[in-house]
Structure 1
């Protein structure tokens, strides 16, 4: 193994020397002879590494040997793109060396559990992955714009990929993460509904541990924005408890993270929400003279339901009109529909609770029959205003 690595090192060093010195010993005949030996060197090294992985030698020794081979191949591979060969045979030798080292690393990556994804990848691997993701950027941007997501969220995602494409240094782990993340976003755009897509995307990025600092700040700003309509301490506390519950059940993808130096999105948001809850509790305790204060829902209010003559479809469309006209400002829509399902009662539902998913479907897909019935009902309301206060003409 040492002999093969030494031969590869000699070939690369002589090739690099030739690029800076025209009197190099790397001649055309030398290039032709050595190019034939590269395949044999590669095969010997692959056989050795496979046997080493399944040998009875100490795990520490195996891991150290494979990591040394990995680092050595990366170092040699990074020297080759800067090499400028003079003749076609010497160019062919450099290409053969590059191919040999690249195949060794790819074999280690695919077939060896001791391969380290935490080391910086070689230039050729970075270029291969970034080229693929860059080619899909136009498609990804178009797909996200079709979903009409908030421009701030779109800019955060695109900026992260732009920095990824401009950087010349990435670990194997980060390359794998960004490539997989892009594919997952494209699949989400294909399968997810347009209704509340922003929040579906946020949950998706949280699941993928997209702990980019601007994204985490964006999520915190959404929590703060959701608290603004709640002027009472109790309402804010209940809303924060709702966020805490959602974060508790939020799943995360194992072994993948945008930045390994930062905590996950879920963890950072949970710390933020719990700090806000603790702040409210301390304020309440201070104002009550050190006595504990109950900040939970009362059963009577929580179980109250509003009876309506609307059908489920008409109720969903009525809420849609209120939201789109700006009369009601409720984000996310899914939370509004869940609230309506819990607190509203239609004629045919009886004592059962409305289905939030059924409301969401009818909110998105309004039939002409429902629209005409709603128009007639709104005309009745206008007529009632005229009867009470005159037409105003």
Structure 2
């Protein structure tokens, strides 16, 4: 009698779960068109759109999908619909991308999307050193990643987003480090010239640093690695107020990385004077 009662109870529970599952998938399907329209209106990246829509559509058609996955996509769909309410002020791709990472959407298609996004970013960056710095930022972001409370990963059998992406970023960092080491030419140390033999720059060290930063960013000077350029400039140039020891390399490096508007205006004025000289000499005005 007890066995019969237990079996009947289990059957009722399974039937209730089945009804709940079917109801959830029906709701997911019913709001799919509204979600797509909202993402299009909010200018969401089309690749990311297709990835999510495909995942939801396939999940609705499968019978073996877990209720955990259905629940995950329901919560995601609701979040997207809430973001798309009213008029969008701009591209929603960034916020959606971060939401998927913070809620541990570890589907293999999304992991591939994350990697492609980083690769596209690196392709637009010139120089191994700059690429390395960009990857270090990603390593820091993924390393400090804290998932939202009560967030269960989408694919229970796969590694979480943080683990996979940290492994990927660190592999890329190791690869770039090897490239960097292979192209750095080991040069003998250059003796610092005497103060009288140095090239005098009429503006401050800040202006000198920003001037060279413009040359590098404009592609006029190719500095790889930049540390070699910093060392050269600090040894060869002198500026008003520079002590007998010359420009300190670490000071020049700091000023190169941190420019204030006042310095930019000084350099701009000098560049404008140069342009006027070119126009006058070759009658280009």
TM range (shorter): 0.5 to 0.7
Counterpart residue number, 1:135: 30
Counterpart residue number, 2:3: 2
Q: Shift in Å at residue 135 of structure 1?
A: 0.9
Counterpart residue number, 1:175: 70
Unaligned runs of 5+ in 1: 9-41, 43-72, 77-100, 107-121, 309-343, 346-383
Q: 1:301 aligns with which of 256, 259, 268?
A: 256
* 1:225 matches 2:120: yes
Q: What is the correspondence of 1:144-163 to structure 2 with a 5 Å cutoff? A: 144-163=39-58
Counterpart residue number, 1:266: 162
What is the CA–CA distance in structure 1 between the aligned matches of 2:56 and 2:226, rounded to whole Å?
43
Cα shift readout 1:345-369 (whole Å, capped 9, x = no counterpart): 9xxxxxxxxxxxxxxxxxxxxxxxx
Contact 2:128–2:176 (CA under 8 A) maintained in structure 1: yes
Aligned-pair Cα RMSD in Å: 3.4
Q: How many residue pairs get matched?
A: 207
The change in CA–CA distance for 1:209 and 1:191 in structure 2 (over 3 A counts) is farther
Q: What is the correspondence of 1:111-126 to structure 2 with a 5 Å cutoff? A: 123-126=18-21
Q: Shift in Å at residue 304 of structure 1?
A: 1.5
**Equivalent position SS for 2:84:** helix
Counterpart residue number, 2:232: none
What is the CA–CA distance in structure 1 between the aligned matches of 2:259 and 2:88, rounded to whole Å?
31
Contact 1:126–1:169 (CA under 8 A) maintained in structure 2: no
Unaligned runs of 5+ in 2: 188-223, 228-249, 266-278
Q: What is the correspondence of 1:90-101 to structure 2 with a 5 Å cutoff? A: 101=12
Provide TM-score, normalisation by structure 2.
0.62
Provide TM-score, normalisation by structure 1.
0.46
What is the CA–CA distance in structure 2 between the aligned matches of 1:3 and 1:138, rounded to whole Å?
45
What is the CA–CA distance in structure 1 between the aligned matches of 2:43 and 2:4, rounded to whole Å?
59
Contact 1:207–1:250 (CA under 8 A) maintained in structure 2: yes
What is the CA–CA distance in structure 2 between the aligned matches of 1:160 and 1:181, rounded to whole Å?
12
Q: Which has the higher contact order (CA 8 A, sep 6+)?
A: 2
Counterpart residue number, 1:234: 129
Cα shift readout 1:101-147 (whole Å, capped 9, x = no counterpart): 14x876xxxxxxxxxxxxxxx54332111011111111111111110
What is the CA–CA distance in structure 2 between the aligned matches of 1:228 and 1:265, rounded to whole Å?
23
**Equivalent position SS for 1:190:** coil
Contact 2:132–2:176 (CA under 8 A) maintained in structure 1: yes
Larger Rg: 1
Cα shift readout 1:41-73 (whole Å, capped 9, x = no counterpart): x6xxxxxxxxxxxxxxxxxxxxxxxxxxxxxx2
